[in-house]
Amino acid sequence: MEITVKVNGADRTADVEPRMLLAHLIREQFGLTGTHMGCDTTSCGACTVLLDGKPVKSCTVFGVQADGREVTTVEGLMQDGQLHPIQAAFKEEHGLQCGFCTPGMMLTGSVLLAEHPNPTDEQVRWAISGQICRCTGYMNIVNAIQAAGRTMSESKQDAEASVA
């Protein structure tokens, strides 16, 4: 089947088998290998991407289900050559070790922050509770997401101040 998916802002077409998983479509056809596969059973969340702005586990979505829709992967987090605040915060707060879960964690974190700019520890933990990290014990992932929230709130205030 031929499908068209808007990936990180650009339309991409592909001819795929109906059974091809979205994760494989992204990795193999679109060549975006920042999306990782960890478990095949929707348990670990390493394959998390945003489908129309919402986190989904791309190992349990067919590629054809993304036809005509918008997909954001970790490669789409940077804007105008600048790191997204959540990317900077993951480095600054040591929110990653092996890096395998990191793309999914950052994407979910970015969606959480859009809804809750200053989330509590519990809010962050609930938001990422569908994703597994084997390295960090989550402490610094939570710290990183909260730190990114503070950065984004500050820059928003700065922007508003400069407009005023």
Partner 1 sequence: MATEAEEIRGIGHRVRRKEDDRFIRGAGNYIDDIHLPGMLHMAILRSPFAHAKINSVDGSRAQELEGVIAVVTGELMAQHNLAWMPTLSGDTEAVLATDKVRFQGQEVAAVIATDPYIAKDALELIDVDYDPLGVVINPEQAAAADAPLIRDEKEGQADNHIYHWESGDKEATDAAFAQADRVVSLDTFYPRSHPSPLETCGCLADVNPATGQATIYMTSQAPQLIRTVFALVAGLPEEKIRIVSPDIGGGFGNKVPVYPGYVVATAASLLLGHPVKWIEDRTENLISTGFARDFWMHGEVALKEDGTMTGLRVSLDADEGAFYADAQPSKFKVGLFHIVSGSYDLPAAHVVADGYYTNKAPGGVAYRCSFRVTEASYMIERLVQNAAYEIGMDPADFRKKNFIEKDQFPYKSATGFEYDSGDYHGAMELALEKVGYEQLRKEQAEAREQGRLIGIGLASFTEVVGAGPHKDYDILGIKMNDGAELRVHPTGKAHLKISSQTQGQGHETTFAQIVAEELGIQPEDIKVTHGDSDDTPYGLGTYASRSTPTVGAATAMVSRKLADKARKLAAHLLEVSEEDVELAKGRFTVKGAPDKAVTIQDVAFAAYTNFPDGMEAGLEGVAYYDPPNLTFPFGTYAVVVEVDADTGQWKVNRMVAVDDCGVRINPMVVEGQIHGGLCEGFGIAAMEQITFDEEGNCIGANFLDYLLPTAWETPRFELGETVTPSPHHPIGAKGVGESATVGSPAAFVNAVIDALWPLGVRNIDMPLTSAKVWEAIQAAKAGAAAG
157 vs 164: CA distance, rounded Å: 10
Shortest distance (Å) from residue 153 CB to partner 1:
20
Query: Would you list the DSSP string of 16-83?
Result: --TT-BHHHIIIIIS--TTS--S-SSSSS-TTEEEETTEEEEGGGSBGGGGTTSEEE-GGGS-BTTB-
17 interacts with partner 1 by CB under 8 A = yes
113 interacts with partner 1 by CB under 8 A = no
Q: How many CB atoms lie within 10 A of CB 101?
A: 24
87 interacts with partner 1 by CB under 8 A = yes
* Choice between 115 and 160, CB closer to partner 1: 115
* Choice between 21 and 157, CB closer to partner 1: 21
75 interacts with partner 1 by CB under 8 A = yes
Q: Which stretch binds partner 1 (CB under 8 A): 40-48, 61-69, 109-117, 146-154?
A: 40-48
49 vs 7: CA distance, rounded Å: 11
26 interacts with partner 1 by CB under 8 A = no
Q: What is the DSSP letter of 130?
A: T
Which whole-number Å values give the CA distances from 141 to 35, 64, 67, 97, 119, in the listed order? 18, 32, 32, 10, 13
Q: Which stretch binds partner 1 (CB under 8 A): 61-69, 111-119, 134-142, 146-154?
A: 134-142
> Which chain residues interact with partner 1 by CB under 8 A?
17, 19-20, 27, 32-41, 43-44, 46, 73-75, 77-78, 83, 87-88, 90-92, 94, 96-103, 106, 121, 124-126, 128-142
